[in-house]
Each structure stands twice: as structure tokens, then as C-alpha cells.
């Protein structure tokens, strides 16, 4: 839950987010949708706790977000970033095992139970054949799926994904959508940012449409993903039509 949240970066007095209030329900798939620069990633990092609001409050499961230790938060919330620098020649398995950090003591080695969780996450992400490959040898799309597998290895209740389809080809986009549906059906809460209406249409039950750091419209996918609201959000004509029974966003 976010209550009257306002945020600006240090040294920049212009507000990135202004008087933002919203509630994301447990078990939902929520898409934060808007043009580049609208404030989507900033909102995601506030929910994660990486950034603190200048004004207002954020609560997670009824508790102030800042009251959680990093270890506690890491067992509840996981992030799949857009990109991440991978400086060492970790194998895919070693990299994915970093997701077990919130469950291990300092310098403690992963146990067999941690290994089992990692293998399961790799299987879910469709990466079992890459388990012992070096991460530096992977394609951009494969690396994105490795980041997802690491997040799954945290066994979080909530998964945040920042522009998850940005570096994926069509086949891997379809695979990611299937994984999101499967995770949600098993009880995970999913929140993802995107500038692609098609990704939101495909999996989201709830939409938060952002323009210039404020909520333009929020609600169900049917209510928000309309010609009127998408055109207003992107500042460019967008038509939402049905093709073979499915909604499609067309740019004019």
C-alpha cells in the first residue's frame, strides 16, 4: 500500500512521483504501464525499498516497509531488474544460488536444500540445460531468464519485474508470460513495469497507468486498457481493437 507518496532524486527538486496512492492486492498480477520516463522504475524501486519516499508512507503486509530488515524483506520480495552487470565467470547455477542469500548466515555455504530450490527455479525458467554454462557466455535473453531464476530461488511471496520483456525475442516473451501465469496460479503476487500494452493485456489482472509521475488511471485491465486512456498516457494516438477475440493495441 502506498499512501500519498512523493519522490524526487537528490539534487533534483522536480518531483518524479507526486501524491501517489495505490493498493496492490495479494495474489494479483499488476502491470505498471506508461511511456518511458513516466516514473515506472522509480515506483518499482520504492516498493522494493531501494528508494525512500520524500513524503508519504509505504506498507508491506500492513507494516511500514522501512521496519523490515534486508533479510526479512529478501524472503518476501524479489526483483528481476532490466539488466545487471555480471563481472565474474559464475556458472548459471552459482549465480542463481545468490538468491538464497536471505536464508544463509554470512559466509555460510548453500545446503542441499538450497541447491534443490535453485534447480527447481532453473527448471521453471527453462534453463536446466544451461545450468553449468558461464553467465558471461549467455545471450541477452538468456541472461534475463537467469535473473528471473535467481529471483525465484528467493522463494518470495511477491516478484517485481522491471521491463521484463525488453530484451526477449518473441519465443522467450511467450515463455515469460507462461511463467508469470504459472507463478500467479501458485499464489505469487506479480508486479511488473512495461511500456508495451501487449504485455499488460497478456497477463495483468490489474493495471496502473502512469503519466508524468502521477496515476492517470488504475483498475481492471478491461477498464484501463482502452483507446482513450492509452492515447492519453502515451501522448500519441493508440487504438485498442479485437483480433480473433483478443485485444490488440495499434499505434496510429
DSSP 206-235: EEEEEETTEEEEEEEHHHHSSHHHHHHHHT
Cβ(20)–Cβ(214) under 8 Å?
A: yes
CA distances from 168 to 36, 46, 144, 172, 199 (A): 18, 25, 8, 6, 12
Dihedral over alpha carbons 90, 91, 95, 100 (to 10 degrees)? -120
- Phi, psi (rounded to 5 degrees) for 77: -125, 135
Residues 22/24/25/26 CA torsion (nearest 10 deg): -150
Among candidate residues 204, 224, 226, the one with its CA nearest the CA of residue 215: 224
Is 145 within 8 Å of 125 (Cβ atoms)? yes
Residue 83 confidence (pLDDT): 83
pLDDT of residue 45: 92
Q: What is the pLDDT along the chain (252 residues), one digit of tens a residue?
A: 999 999 998 877 778 999 999 999 999 999 999 988 889 999 999 999 999 999 999 999 999 999 999 999 999 999 999 888 877 889 999 999 999 999 999 889 999 999 999 999 999 999 999 999 999 999 888 899 999 999 999 999 999 999 998 878 888 888 899 999 999 999 999 999 998 898 999 999 999 999 999 999 999 998 999 999 999 999 899 999 988 888 888 887
Predicted local distance difference test score (pLDDT) of residue 167: 79
What DSSP character marks residue 92? H
Alpha-carbon span 249 to 80, nearest angstrom: 26
Instruction: Give backbone dihedrals phi and psi of 108, rounded to 5 degrees, phi first.
Output: -75, 135
Predicted confidence at residue 171, as pLDDT, reads 87
**Residue 169 dihedral angles phi and psi, to the nearest 5°:** -80, 175
The whole-angstrom separation of Cα 183 and Cα 7 is 31
Strand order in 77-80's β-sheet? 77-80, 158-162, 189-194, 29-33, 206-211, 214-220
In 3D space, the residue among 116, 173, 121 whose CA is nearest the CA of residue 147 turns out to be: 121
Q: How many residues does the chain have?
A: 252
The contacts of residue 39 (CB under 8 Å, 6+ apart) are: 16, 17, 210, 212, 213
Q: Residue 43: which of 83, 71, 15, 68 has the closest Cα?
A: 15
pLDDT the model gives residue 98: 95
| Cα–Cα dist 230/148, whole Å | 28
Indicate the DSSP class of residue 61.
T
Amino acid at each position: 500500500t502506498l499512501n500519498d507518496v512523493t519522490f524526487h532524486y537528490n539534487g533534483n527538486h522536480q518531483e518524479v512521483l507526486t501524491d501517489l496512492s495505490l493498493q496492490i492486492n495479494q495474489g494479483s498480477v499488476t502491470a505498471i504501464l506508461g511511456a518511458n520516463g513516466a516514473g515506472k522504475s522509480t515506483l518499482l524501486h520504492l516498493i522494493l525499498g531501494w528508494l525512500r519516499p520524500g513524503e508519504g508512507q509505504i506498507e508491506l503486509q500492513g507494516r511500514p516497509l522501512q521496519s523490515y530488515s534486508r533479510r526479512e524483506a529478501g524472503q518476501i520480495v524479489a526483483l528481476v531488474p532490466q539488466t545487471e552487470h555480471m563481472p565474474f565467470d559464475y556458472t548459471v547455477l552459482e549465480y542463481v544460488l545468490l538468491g538464497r542469500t536471505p536464508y544463509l548466515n554470512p559466509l555460510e555455504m548453500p545446503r542441499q536444500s538450497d541447491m534443490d530450490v535453485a534447480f527447481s527455479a532453473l527448471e521453471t525458467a527453462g534453463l536446466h540445460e544451461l545450468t553449468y554454462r558461464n553467465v558471461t557466455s549467455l545471450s541477452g535473453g538468456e541472461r534475463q531468464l537467469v535473473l528471473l531464476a535467481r529471483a525465484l530461488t528467493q522463494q518470495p511471496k511477491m516478484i517485481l519485474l522491471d521491463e521484463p520483456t525488453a530484451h526477449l525475442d518473441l519465443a522467450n516473451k511467450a515463455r515469460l508470460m507462461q511463467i508469470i501465469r504459472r507463478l500467479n496460479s501458485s499464489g505469487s503476487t506479480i508486479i511488473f513495469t512495461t511500456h508495451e500494452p501487449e504485455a499488460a493485456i497478456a497477463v495483468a489482472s490489474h493495471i496502473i497507468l502512469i503519466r508524468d509521475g502521477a496515476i492517470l488511471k488504475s483498475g481492471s485491465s478491461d477498464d484501463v486498457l482502452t483507446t482513450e486512456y492509452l492515447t492519453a498516457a502515451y501522448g500519441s494516438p493508440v487504438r485498442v481493437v479485437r483480433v480473433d477475440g483478443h485485444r490488440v493495441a495499434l499505434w496510429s
